[in-house]
Structure 1
């Protein structure tokens, strides 16, 4: 299972043009079958959208690099705090899904409450523990209002693109997928990642093998060295970058609600040992109060159902299962972020 990560083995995944699903015209059987097969076989595929241009891609990648190029003390001024609500800066070593040190830093943000009319928490409190303001701190003063606008505009675009992706999936698999309502929109989030080059020595990794907890995950990875891999047919496969497209990973919640018919792929991030890597990841969640599906896919090996706070001793698969009976998705996510926190960074 832990094949040599220096061996480049690209996987072939279909690219789905979401604009083809925007009309009322019947979709081709070939297109629907391609998407359905990808979801049920790999749990991953590429999508493109006419609403996201190469100019948009260049702007958000530039904004990402601007943040990570800031002095350490500036980034550390917007630390996120452990406890479920994750907005702000996560330093290298601050999180891990295993015993390994994950050689990355990140910045997490979500729904822009500041632009609400009236502003959130002025006339009404946040409705759950995963809602709250983004941690901008002095970043806007240093990087400018335009920088912040690029990030918040990207969040709005990702929300719409993901909803379009769900519409396409519903047509492909022939069943409704429970979409987040407004509350789901306000707990979804984006993470900007900066991965450091490192040795693949068993002690360090870009991101530990895991499945994503939510409904869908969309990944933008610039034309860069290898990094993202998915596990299929007892082998790790590289997922190549494709400019202008997103990699879609189906999540644990979606896999559970379909009884495993849709795969939530095991994936990881590795290093070529020499190059930095950047990626932008949009985690699309269902409603906070949505109950986790019970009795469906109980034998599925999903990170959502595992205790990732376990001290591993070198085995990424040695995880303990948690019960889901009567637990809402939001409550579960609070647990999950607590489990993957590492080090003494958080209070």
Structure 2
């Protein structure tokens, strides 16, 4: 149901890889990507440092609360998010968000542009350098996948290149505590991702499920070293619903679960409009930043739990 694609095939037989990717993103919107270009030692360092951060006392992490900045950078405590907008339960996971890195004196930061704040870092040796290196590696991998997707859609392979140069992309460290057995407990509620492409690195602990259109929830298999890749709502909209953004959730794990999600987003001013050759537009054009803002507002809106 969820295919495994081998990135090394791109160099040996790009048309074959493109055909497999095209089928995957049209049918379930999910695939596993083995042999990606992100170095294995960098991935290990990211998970190690993420553990160091989440193992800190709550009061220390709270100094970097995501709720203290309008730019969605920093620590999200359990309960800060509710990804399933149709249900009152909040998510039990905790998170740490990192965005496109800008200096404090960057004009966009000084102008307080949406999503253009500075990253907030814990006092952990090597944390910022490692996370930014991983951010850049994932952005490069996502851009390479977008080139394949452009080819699949009959566009020039560089169609998306200039639209992802200073992206809204976000990197998210995630920690799911073991299940407590509480009623209606959920690690991450059912949702679709907001952006273009998501690259998810996991530690192998089960819990991630996908619900294909017209089907029931299925477990996403773990392939050591492979990324879970999925299409987000923005790219589905961009492709005029040719590509599929599929609901997924994370069940409360038996043991702690760690993962790192990289949400590849376009530049803030990129116009998301039906791509050439995709037929009559199903959605009005919208700036990528405006679309992202509308989705995040719903995610962080207070829930009525009565």
Fold shared, TM-score > 0.5 on shorter chain: yes
SS at match of 1:101: coil
Distance (whole Å) between structure 2 residues aligned to residue 296 and residue 200 of structure 1 = 46
Offset, 1:196:
1.6
TM-score normalised to structure 2 length: 0.85
Offset, 1:249:
0.7
Do the aligned partners of 2:49 and 2:127 also contact (CA within 8 Å) in 1? yes
Per-residue CA shift, 1:33-57, capped at 9, x if unaligned? 2211111101011223453232222
2:4 is aligned to 14
1:93 is aligned to 79
Distance (whole Å) between structure 1 residues aligned to residue 197 and residue 243 of structure 2 = 11
2:31 is aligned to 45
- Equivalences for 1:72-91 in 2 at 5 Å? 72-81=58-67, 85-91=71-77
Offset, 1:67:
0.7
- Equivalences for 1:55-70 in 2 at 5 Å? 55-70=41-56
Per-residue CA shift, 1:211-269, capped at 9, x if unaligned? 11111111111122x11111114211111222222111111111112221111111111
Distance (whole Å) between structure 1 residues aligned to residue 251 and residue 161 of structure 2 = 32
**Worse-matched range after superposition: 99-108 or 285-294:** 285-294
Offset, 1:275:
1.1
Change (3 A) 1:185 1:108: same
Do the aligned partners of 2:99 and 2:170 also contact (CA within 8 Å) in 1? yes
Aligned residue among 34, 44, 47 for 2:20: 34
Change (3 A) 1:50 1:198: closer
Q: Comparing both chains, which one has the higher relative contact order based on Cα–Cα distances under 8 Å and sequence gaps of 6 or more?
A: 1
Please state if 1:338 is matched with 2:297.
yes
Offset, 1:106:
0.3
Change (3 A) 1:296 1:205: farther
Do the aligned partners of 2:165 and 2:267 also contact (CA within 8 Å) in 1? yes
Unaligned runs of 5+ in 2: 275-279
SS at match of 1:81: helix
Per-residue CA shift, 1:260-300, capped at 9, x if unaligned? 1111111111124x2111110011111212334376345xx
Distance (whole Å) between structure 2 residues aligned to residue 38 and residue 213 of structure 1 = 19
Per-residue CA shift, 1:90-129, capped at 9, x if unaligned? 1000010231121100000122224xxxx64269845831
2:131 is aligned to 151
Do the aligned partners of 2:150 and 2:160 also contact (CA within 8 Å) in 1? no
2:94 is aligned to 105
TM-score normalised to structure 1 length: 0.76
